[in-house]
C-alpha cells in the first residue's frame, strides 16, 4: 500500500516569463509546504528563499501525480534542484508512491533531500530547473502548522485561483550583461577619484613649498640673535685693541 504524506500548507505557483514580481519567501522553512506548479517548457527555472531556524534540517521533496502523463516520464525529463549556497545539485533518483488523504490523491516522490542540522539561522535559496513540461509538486519542511502562514510573495488571480507569482529567472539579464552595465559607473567613480587624488597631490606639493619657505624663514629669524651677539663681541674686541695701542 502507498505510504501516507503528512499534512501541509498547499499553495499554487505560477511561473511567468516576464515578471518583476519578488522572489517567493518562506520565513520559516521548517513548516510543511506543498507548492503546486507547471512547467510549460524546458527553458524555465524559478527560485524561492527560505529562512531556516537554527537547529533545523532542510527538508526538500519533489512529487508527481501517479497518473499519466507524469507517472510515465523518464528520470531524465524530471526537474532537478540546485542550492547554490550549499553547493548542492539534487537529481531525481527515487520513485516512491505516497497517498495524500486530504485530496485523496496518489503521488510519486522522485527526489528527496535532508540536510545536516544547521547550527545557526540561515536564509537558503533553492532553484527548480525544468527539463520538460509537466505538473509537479515541491514539498518543503515537516512541521504541520495550518494557521500560521509563513509564505509570502506577489499573489495574483489566475484561472480563478490565488497564485504566487514565481518569475522565470532564466529570462533575467545574464550576469555578464549586468557586469557590463555596472562597469561604467565604476569607471566614472574611479576617474573622479583619480582627479581628486591629483588635486590632493598638487595641494600637498603647495603645502610642502609653504612649509619649506616657513622653515627657511624660521632659520633666518633664529640666526639674527646669534649674528647680533657676534657683531657686538667683535666691536668690543676691536675697541679694547685700539685703546691698548693708544
Q: How far is CA 146 from CA 32, 103, 143, 163, 194, in A?
A: 9, 15, 9, 18, 59
CB 135 within 8 A of CB 18: no
Cell readout for 7 is 499534512
Count CA within 13 A, CB hemisphere, residue 37.
28
Place of cell 504566487: 164
> Among positive and negative, which fits the CA dihedral 109, 88, 86, 129?
negative
The values of phi and psi at residue 92, to 5°, are: -65, 120
> Nearest CA to 139 among 27, 30, 19?
30
**pLDDT value for 244:** 60
Which has more pLDDT, 232 or 23? 23
CB 38 within 8 A of CB 92: no
Each residue's pLDDT tens digit, 175-222:
443 332 332 333 333 333 444 434 444 554 555 554 455 555 555 555
Cell readout for 232 is 657686538
Q: In what order do the strands lie in the sheet with 59-65?
A: 3-4, 96-100, 105-114, 59-65, 134-140, 33-39, 9-16, 161-167, 155-158
Cell readout for 26 is 518562506
**pLDDT value for 191:** 35
**pLDDT value for 147:** 76
**pLDDT value for 7:** 52
Asked whether the predicted pLDDT for residue 5 surpasses 90, the reply is no
Domain ranges across the chain:
3-172, 173-246
**pLDDT value for 117:** 87
Residue 141 φ/ψ region, left for φ over 0, alpha for ψ in the -120 to 50 degree band, beta for the rest: left
Cα–Cα distance for residue pair 109/139, rounded to 1 Å: 10
Place of cell 518583476: 20
Q: Is 15 helix (H, G, I), strand (E, B) or coil?
A: strand
Centre a 10 Å sphere on the Cβ of residue 150 and count the other Cβ atoms it contains: 18
Q: How confident is the model at residue 8 (pLDDT cuts 50, 70, 90)?
A: confident
Lowest mean pLDDT among 70-74, 109-113, 123-127, 191-195: 191-195
Cα–Cα distance for residue pair 246/244, rounded to 1 Å: 5
Each residue's pLDDT tens digit, 26-63:
999 999 999 999 999 999 999 999 999 999 999 999 99
Lowest mean pLDDT among 13-17, 40-44, 99-103, 174-178: 174-178
Each residue's pLDDT tens digit, 116-143:
888 899 999 999 999 999 999 999 999 9
Amino acid at each position: 500500500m502507498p505510504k501516507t504524506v503528512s499534512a501541509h500548507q498547499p499553495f499554487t505557483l505560477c511561473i511567468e516569463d516576464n515578471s518583476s514580481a519578488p522572489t517567493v519567501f518562506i520565513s520559516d522553512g521548517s513548516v510543511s509546504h506543498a507548492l503546486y506548479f507547471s512547467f510549460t517548457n524546458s527553458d524555465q527555472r524559478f527560485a524561492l528563499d527560505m529562512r531556516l531556524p537554527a537547529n533545523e534540517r532542510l527538508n526538500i521533496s519533489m512529487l508527481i501525480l501517479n497518473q499519466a502523463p507524469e507517472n510515465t516520464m523518464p528520470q531524465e525529463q524530471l526537474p532537478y534542484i540546485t542550492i547554490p549556497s550549499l553547493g548542492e545539485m539534487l537529481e531525481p533518483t527515487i520513485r516512491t508512491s505516497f497517498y495524500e488523504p486530504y485530496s485523496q490523491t496518489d503521488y510519486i516522490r522522485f527526489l528527496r533531500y535532508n540536510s545536516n542540522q544547521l547550527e545557526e539561522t540561515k536564509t537558503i535559496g533553492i532553484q527548480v530547473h525544468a527539463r520538460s513540461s509537466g505538473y509537479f509538486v515541491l514539498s518543503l519542511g515537516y512541521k504541520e502548522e495550518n494557521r500560521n502562514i509563513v509564505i509570502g510573495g506577489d499573489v495574483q488571480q489566475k484561472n480563478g485561483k490565488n497564485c504566487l507569482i514565481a518569475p522565470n529567472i532564466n529570462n533575467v539579464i545574464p550576469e555578464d550583461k549586468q557586469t557590463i552595465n555596472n562597469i561604467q559607473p565604476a569607471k566614472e567613480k574611479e576617474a573622479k577619484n583619480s582627479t581628486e587624488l591629483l588635486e590632493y597631490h598638487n595641494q600637498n606639493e603647495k603645502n610642502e613649498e609653504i612649509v619649506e619657505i616657513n622653515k627657511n624663514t624660521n632659520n633666518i629669524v633664529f640666526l639674527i640673535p646669534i649674528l647680533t651677539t657676534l657683531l657686538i663681541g667683535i666691536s668690543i674686541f676691536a675697541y679694547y685693541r685700539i685703546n691698548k695701542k693708544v
